[in-house]
Structures are given as C-alpha cells and as structure tokens.
Structure 1
Amino acid sequence: MLSPVVAGIDGSAESLAAAAWAAREAERRDRPLHLVHAWDWHPRRQEGEIAGAAQRHLARRSLHRAEQRVRAECPGVPLSDEQTEGPATAALLKAADEAELMVLGSRGLSGFTGFLVGSVALGVVAKATCPVVLVRADEEAADEHLPAADGGASTDSGYRDVVLAVDLDEACDEVIEFAFEAARLRHARLRAVHAWHTAPPVGLGPGDIGLVKETWQGEEWLGFLKAVLQVWRDKYPDVEVLETVVDDRPTTALVRASTGAGLLVVGHRLAERPVGPRTGPVTHAAIHHVGCPVAVVPHL
C-alpha cells in the first residue's frame, strides 16, 4: 500500500488550506490522502461522557468540512480520515511515521492555531521522520501558479519556482532530492540558494594571507554549489535549475528568495535536545516569515 499524504485537521482556516494543499500534492504524487484530527483533554469525571461526545462531534464536523474542501478541489483523490484522543503531538508523529509527507496549517508570526500550538507544532516539525509542509490560511491553488497573461490569478499557467535552501557545509541528499522531485512534479524551475558571509577584514597579523576579493568568493561558492547539484541535474534532466549565491544572512536571503515562489524547501537535522524539540534559526525564520508553503525535510 502506498504511503499517504497526511494532513492535520482542527477546523481552523489554516488546517482547511492545509487539507486542500495536501490533496493537490497527493494528486501530483498519485498518493492517497489521510486526514487526522487529534485532541487532548482532561474533563472532570462527572463530565467525561458528555465532554467526550462533544469532542467527537467537533472532530467529525472538522473532518467533514475538510473532506468537502478536498472533494471540491480534487474529487479523484482516494480519501480516508481518523480522529483520535490523546496528545496531539504524539498522534501526528505516529501518523507521520507512515506518511509520504505531513501537511499542517501555519499562522506564521502569530504562532500556530488550534491543536497546533507552540510545543505541539514544534514537536511535529522537530521530530517527524517525514517531510512536514506548513501552509498558511490564505493559500489557494492559484497561488502555486504564475499569473495569467493579464496578470490575474490562474490555475492553468505554469507553476512558480521551487526554492531550495542549500547549506554547502552540510548539503543533504534527502533535502535536495525532495526539492528536485517537487520541481519535477510541477514542471517548475528549481532555484537553489546558498547564503555566505564576507569575513570582516580584522585580525590579520603580519604574514597572514589577505581575504579573497568578495567577487571571487562568490564565484567560488557558485562553482561549489553547481558541483554539489550536478549529480541531481543528471538524475533530473528535465528540471531547469538556477543556482544563486548571495552575501547575506541565510535567514534574510531565504525570505527574499521565497518572495513569489510556490514552495520553499529547507532541511532540519533530527536530534534529541535536552530542553525539548527545537528547530535551527534558518528553519525557524522560514516557518515564521516566509509567505509560501514551507517544506521542512528531516535528515540525520
């Protein structure tokens, strides 16, 4: 059985947009779609049965609304759903273990909504073993596509760029492959971005070698980036690739590069941390500041 695309549902506008995006992605990947609603509650004993029934009713209503949205956009996608009681993070991570990818709703700088609040969302992104895509409430099918000839929204035009954040100190095959495959599925251009810093000209003592000129550094980084991606160009010959290196902070460079993109792909190293799950600064900035859907791809 094919692994499904999974969407976390909580009845919010963000999760409905996530369900619709997940349906389109399932259609592109020829995968089934599985909707998951989870809740974590602790009613007083005398109210347990009534509260439980209310929670199940809300879950069913949320799933029904999501199913209606999915059927309206992608009526042919095989669809299943699940509602479960217990810690939301654990439920979503369990679903992620069997998933092709997980899709969640995001509110960006305002945090996450519904059951995707704080540590729950962070726990899913930080610990999921499959890629996690975060989608904003206002995301529509036309937002994945280039504008029509008259400048209006369209779902018949070509797809917007897929942007890949590449850390050349830690270039990971899982992250690069996900981005190339996403571009291939969309017949979209892949824009690979690496940000580098110009070292300040201080601390050079007698006999030290001076800094290479900034332009030369940029050319060297660009050559390195092209070399890293060459094997993937060969594997995906139909994907148009544009390599870009910029002298800027990685977080700033990614936010700027993602403007007008259809999808941003970033990597996340899986690790157990003593103070709980965390994401790195680049992933954190992407989640909170980038307007397009963000795919966080785990790697070891």
Structure 2
Amino acid sequence: MTQTPTARPITVGLDGSPESVAAAEWAAREAQCRHAPLRLVHAWMLPAPTARTAQAPEMRKLWAQEALDAAKARLADRYPKVPVSAELVPRTAVEGLVGHGASSQMLVLGSHGRGAVAGYLLGSVGLQVLGCSTSPVVMVRGGSGERTGPEGGEVVVGVQDPPESAAPIEFAFATAAARGTGVRAVRALAPPVFTHGPQPRTRPGQAASAGDEDARDEERRLLAEAVELWREKYPDVPVTEQIEHGRPADALLAAASRAGLVVVGRHSHRSPVAPRLGHVTQALLHHAACPVAVVPHD
C-alpha cells in the first residue's frame, strides 16, 4: 500500500480520554484506507478562567506530550503503513483543533471525552468545533459493541435539497470508495401538516392517494438527481436510494443502526443568533451508535 504524495492528513484531537483514544484508532484505520498521513494534535492551553484553577502550565504541557508520544508509538506499531505525526499546540482546544482541521481531510474527535486534563473534547468544546470547523468533523464514541471502524458497514448520508447536499454526498461516496463499501442515501418525506378541520383517515391496506404518490415520485426524482453525479464519479460504489415517511432524524437514526458511518451536512454561514447545529445533527450525535460525520457546506 503506497501513500498518495499529495494526500492531506487526517487530524485527530487527543485529550487522554478513552473516547479520544477510540477516535485515534478510528482515524488510523481511516488513514490506512485513504492512504493518508495521520496527525495527532493536543491543544494544551486552557481558557483563562479555567487555567487559574488548573494545574501548572508546565505540568499540563508535560502530561500532554507524554500522552501524545504514547499514542503515536502505539498507532505507529499497529498501523505501520500509516505515517503518524504528533504535535503539541500552544493554543486553546477550539482554536487549535479548528486551525489544524482546516488543512485536513477531516478532523476526528472523541465524543463525551473525560480527560485527565479538563476533558477538552467534552460538551461545549466539541460543539464549538463542530459549529466552527471548515472541514468535515467526525465524532467517535468508545464503548463495547460500538462499530468504530471502516469494517462496520455501509455509509449512510442524509440528502437535503440540492445544492446543499453536494458536499455531504461527495464525502460519503469518497469514504465508501476508500473502504470498499456502499452508500445508502436517505431522504425523508415529512408528513403533511394540517392546521385545522377533520382529516381523512387511511384504513389499513388502503392505497395511497394520488397526491401521496405524486409526492413520493417527486422525492425519488430529487434523490436520484442528488446522487447522479457521484454515481458517475464512483461507479464501483454500490448505492441504495431510500425514501422514508416521517422525520429526517428518525429516518437517519434507523439507517445508522446498521451503518459504519452516518454523514450529515451543516450550513457554513448562519446568523450569529442561530443555532450552529440543527436538530437532526443533534439527534444523531446523541443517539447514533456509529460515528457521525458533520460536513460543512455553503
């Protein structure tokens, strides 16, 4: 297996927690699939309010360097064909991770980390990185029985209306091509919202109305159009197009239960007062058993 000379690295944030170790293992396997280098990063500086009550900066820096060195040695031994580097970053977690992620294929973080040094991948920091990153961010949770490797199954991607869905779909196809697996493109057909008046009931076994069939046909057309370009670009990737009635979050969570990775999009430009992550992404981050990739798009 030969490394692609121009391949950008896959960057993983380490904080010493079991979750960040699981993220590093996942990232190493992904780097091996993509013939890419792996970069381990620890941003060791703490925000001013926290730093005043934490251990001395020299001790934090020493501990972080030891954790990086140990992780680098372990991964280099387990994945000898993957070039592994480690970098101690004198910045706060959000600044360091977002900055290094910008030059990476993806940024990989452990979810729900509780590290020995303030657990900087826990909670608000992880959400800030997800909301600010200009590159795809993959959240990986550790735990028994969790599928955290490329061997876990197909890549599920939630398909929005074009052109918003292009970046997440491309990421899903590229990932599936590297792993030698398939893509399941899922689009949810939300039920109609009635504001007043009695609604007709559908009896068991009753055929769908012409309006329902028209809506489903339109959704099938939109889904087929959304993946058409990537089918042509990645002809060896099997594709399943799936239309589901109901909420997008429910449809993606159901599909993710059998997946190795689930991919969703995030608008890069939002109002300062708007939430950074939508409710579908929030639901997947909290409830999906497999890793979740959040891909920014315009």
Give the TM interval when normalised to the shorter protein: 0.7 to 0.9
Residues 99 and 143 from structure 1, CA distance in 2 versus in 1: closer, same or farther, beyond 3 angstroms? closer
1:105 matches 2:110:
yes
174, 178, 182: which one aligns with 2:171: 178
* 1:221 matched residue in structure 2: 219
Shift of 1:34: 0.7
Equivalent residue number for residue 185 of structure 2: 192
Q: Partner of 2:268 in structure 1? A: 270
Q: Partner letter of residue 18 of structure 2?
A: A
Cα deviation 1:122-155 (Å, max 9, x = unaligned): 121111111111101127897546xxxxxxxxx6
Residue 31 of structure 1 is matched in structure 2 by 36
- Return the alpha-carbon distance in structure 1 between the equivalents of residues 89 and 274 of structure 2: 24
How far does the alpha carbon of each residue in 1:17-71 deviate from its partner, in whole angstroms, 9 at most, with x for none?
A: 1111111111111111111101233556xx99x8122111210222133224423
Contact 1:4/1:100 (8 A) holds in 2: yes
CA drift at 1:172 = 2.6
- Farther off after superposition, 268-277 or 160-169: 268-277
Query: 1:21, 1:92 → 2: CA distance?
Result: 17
Q: What corresponds to 1:125 in structure 2?
A: 130
Paired AA for residue 21 in structure 1: W
Give TM-score, length-normalised by structure 1: 0.83
AA aligned to 2:66 is: R
CA RMSD of aligned residues (A): 2.6
Contact 2:265–2:295, Cα closer than 8 Å, also in 1: yes
CA distance in structure 1 between the partners assigned to 2:272 and 2:229 by the alignment: 37
Among residues 270, 277, 280, which one is paired with 1:279 in the alignment?
277
Q: Return structure 1 stretches of 4+ with deviation > 4 angstroms.
A: 139-143, 201-204
Report the CA distance between 1:272 and its aligned residue: 4.5
Assess, with a 3 A threshold, how the Cα gap between structure 1 residues 216 and 34 changes in structure 2: closer, same or farther. same
TM-score (norm 2): 0.83
Please name the residue that 2:241 is paired with: 243
Tell me the alpha carbon deviations over residues 228-265 of structure 1, each in whole angstroms, 9 at most, x when there is no partner: 21222111111110000111111111111100200101
| Cα gap change, 1:68 to 1:31, in 2 (>3 Å) | same
Listed as ranges, the gaps of 5+ residues in structure 1 are 146-154, 205-210
Q: Deviations over 1:72-115 (max 9, x none)?
A: 4312211111112332101111101111110000139xxxx810
Aligned equivalents of 2:71, 2:97: Cα separation in 1: 17
> Percent of aligned positions with the same letter in both sequences?
40
Q: Distance in 1 between matches of 2:261 and 2:232?
A: 22
Q: How far 1:15 moved relative to its partner? A: 0.4
